[in-house]
Amino acid sequence: MKNTYLLMLRCICLLIVVSMLGSCMKDIGNYDYKELNELVEVSNLPEEMQAQYGKKLEFVPIIKFSKDPDFDASKYEYEWTYIGPNGVGGTGLYVLSDTKDLDMLLTKVVAGTYTAYFAVTDKASGVKYKKSFKLKVVNEYNEGWIMMNEANGKARVDMLYLDAERNFKLVNDVLGSTGAGLSLEGKPVLAYTYSTGLLIGPDKISYGVYLGTDKYTTKVDPNTFKWTPTMGLAYEMYGDVPAGFYAERIQVRGSGSSAYMIGAGDAYYYDRTMQIYFSAPISYNNEDQKSFKVAPFVAASSSYGIFYDSTNRRFVKHSGTSSTMTVIPDPAIGERLFSFTTGMDLVYMRNVPYNGGEVFSILKEVNGSKKYLARFNPANNVQSYYAEIKGTDIDKAEFYAINPEFGYVFYSVGSKVYQYDMTYKTSKLMADYGSHKISYLDFYEFKATAKINAEGKRLMVGTYDATINNGTEGSLHIYTVPSLNGDLIEISTYSGFGRIKSLTYRER
């Protein structure tokens, strides 16, 4: 019985399968297949579309569909989108417009290069076609030199910006020109830029453009220069911020998003990757269990920060992500050129690539006029040079700069710039600006490798006509420094701004 039952069940299953196959065979040819109205092309859409922030963006694509030779625009829906930052470290897809033609004031997208899309949807079929392109948005003041100046006795930010033809153009009072909403108070102190990584606070800023006076330090939006009160430095510092606090110096460490800050004689450390924010000062020595004040200089390398303890007149080091500093120990007698506890005042210090990377420091006698050049390696503390600087009028020097390529010491006295050769212990007059005085002297430290290689060895000299005080008396001179004590080679000079106190380059 069991075998008979199984045989009948198999026969029934076979009949069902045959019946289904027959039904399928009979359905062939019963459907009416229609050819889709397909997108043939979108012309007049470049691979990279150029746009300027705050300006009109107008664009008319030419669209062709296979079943719509005259193209009836009402039969379709449109969408312009781009992939941009979401403010919390990721990205999102954002809509620019839902019209066929772009005709809009571009204020949604900050400067940068984005992957963008133009999409067309056939209303009849519901089929959506999408074409990608690059959207490059620039500001009118997208890249260039940002200068914290004294103008008419007040702090003012001017800018030499690169235009579309890659020529520098001057804009006086860039904060006013962009409607930033920030009115500077106090004397000019600082302009500095570096890639901070995403900062804490409501403004979601990942690139710091810092502007400072002796009243306060604040950031502005790196793409629009717009300002809100929550961009103030106090909003990225944990703990109690001293009243009237401002940054005397900010210095990036290495190529990552970490930096040092000096204010009110205290040193602070920031590291975005390790989520360390400016909080308690690091100018503290565990050995003494005492805090100390530092000079307003920091020689930063990739892993270290060299500071000068002005309280005890000695060099100190910050390593890694430590919350304190250590006193640099003196080398053995046979290797010692000077004591790291110098007993002198520090008047200048900087880390430069010369000789594989060295700290150049200029020290001055506390009760005398003599100045000394001390050099050492910031990683292993090996000392390489120590001697009195015997340059012309070195006792009257106001500004200093170290040539990163040849190790020449530049300094200025009044309207004159001198170059000091530490090997021959000789000085050479390199520039004399006559009735114009010097307000700024430096070899600018770029962050991008291409800029470092191309422009990081150039001497920058800021001068001003002392007989004028209307905010247009300033000039910036840029030179190449040749080897073998050769004369300076002038690359360019720009004029018409205030008296430069600090400058930074907005890199792209």
pLDDT in tens, 184-231: 999 999 999 999 988 877 888 889 999 999 999 999 998 889 899 999
User: What stretches of 409-488 adopt beta strand conformation (E)?
Assistant: 409-413, 416-421, 426-432, 436-443, 458-465, 474-480
Is residue 46 included in any domain, yes or no? yes
Quick check: helix, strand or coil at residue 288? coil
The pLDDT of residue 76: 96
Q: Among the three residues 138, 171, 197, which one is the final residue of a domain in this structure?
A: 138
Quick one: pLDDT at residue 490? 96
Which residues neighbour 79 within 8 Å (Cβ) at sequence distance 6 or greater?
Answer: 95, 97, 98, 117, 118, 119, 121
Is residue 391 included in any domain, yes or no?
no
Dihedral pair phi/psi, residue 103, rounded to 5°: -155, 85
pLDDT of residue 30: 53
Domain boundary among 92, 117, 138: 138
> What total number of domains does the chain contain?
2
Q: What pTM was computed for the model? A: 0.78
- Could you give the count of Cα atoms lying within 13 Å of 345 in the half-sphere of its Cβ? 9
Please tell me the predicted confidence (pLDDT) of residue 454. 79
pLDDT digits (tens, 9 = 90+) for 117-134: 999 999 999 999 999 999
| pLDDT at residue 52 in the model | 82
Residue ranges in the chain modelled with pLDDT below 50 = 1-7, 11, 13, 17-18, 20-27
Residue 211 lies in a domain: no
Q: What's the domain range around 103?
A: 39-138
In this prediction, residue 110 carries a pLDDT of: 75
The CB-side HSE value for 427 (13 A sphere, CA atoms) comes to 18
Q: What is the pLDDT of residue 168?
A: 94
Answer whether residue 341 is part of any domain: no
Residue 202 domain-assigned (yes or no) = no
Residue at 418 is within a domain = yes
| Whole-number pLDDT of residue 166 | 85
Of the residues 113, 138, 163, the one at which a domain ends = 138
Domain assignment present for residue 275? The answer is no
For residue 203, the model assigns a pLDDT of 83
Beta-ladder partners of 490: 479
Check residue 18 and give its pLDDT.
43
Cα 93 to Cα 84: distance, rounded to the nearest angstrom = 6
Q: Which CATH number does the domain housing residue 108 bear? A: 2.60.40.10
- Confidence (pLDDT) at 132: 93
> Does 382 fall in a domain?
no
